[in-house]
């Protein structure tokens, strides 16, 4: 089931790349992948497994950090992920990320409510190395209520 959730997240990342040119930001040896999608894309069973509240007005934010080794191999990394989301009226909400691990994959999900056609600005802090400054990721997404 967890593999299915990661598959959906990667599929959404791919579709985001068409709209936003790329579903990731590069920070030196790190790539931080991000996606935001409607929670209705996830089955009730997956939502229950990961304690995700589904709803036509709920979105899931997915963050994954990948490090490229000198040999070119990539692997997911644990990180401290924090963030906020703000609408155009500058009303902010803190995002609470949950870590999900499966085999070599590590990713972080959070959820938020939204209104139809709402433009949300995401400000995410990702810290894969506890001895270095966090990486700052900012992006905007327009969300639509699932009918």
Query: What is the length of the chain?
Result: 147
Two structure tokens written together for 30: 């790190």
List the domain boundaries for the chain.
Answer: 2-143
Q: Which of 20-24, 40-44, 125-129 has the lowest mean pLDDT?
A: 20-24
3-state secondary structure string, 39-99? HHHCCHHHHHHCCCCCCCCEEEEEEEEEEECCCCCEEEECCEEEEEEECCCCCEEEECCEE
Q: Which of 3-17, 90-104, 119-133 has the lowest mean pLDDT?
A: 3-17
| pLDDT tens-place string over residues 85-109 | 999 999 999 999 999 998 888 999 9
**For residue 145, pLDDT beyond 70:** yes
Domain 2-143, CATH number (from 3.20.20.140, 2.60.40.3340, 2.160.10.10, 2.60.40.10)? 2.60.40.3340
């Amino acid at each position: 089931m967890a593999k299915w959730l990661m598959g959906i997240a990667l599929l959404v990342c791919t579709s985001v790349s068409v709209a936003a040119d790329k579903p990731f930001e590069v920070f030196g040896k790190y790539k931080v992948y991000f996606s935001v999608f409607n929670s209705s894309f996830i089955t009730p069973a997956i939502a229950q497994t990961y304690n995700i509240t589904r709803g036509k007005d709920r979105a899931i934010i997915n963050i994954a950090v990948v490090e490229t080794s000198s040999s070119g191999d990539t692997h997911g990394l644990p990180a401290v992920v924090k963030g906020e989301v703000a609408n155009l009226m500058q009303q902010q909400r803190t995002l609470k990320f949950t870590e999900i691990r499966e085999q070599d994959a590590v990713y972080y999900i959070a959820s938020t409510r939204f209104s139809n056609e709402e433009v949300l600005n995401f400000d995410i802090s990702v810290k894969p190395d506890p001895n270095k400054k966090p990486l700052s990721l900012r992006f905007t997404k327009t969300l639509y209520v699932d009918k």
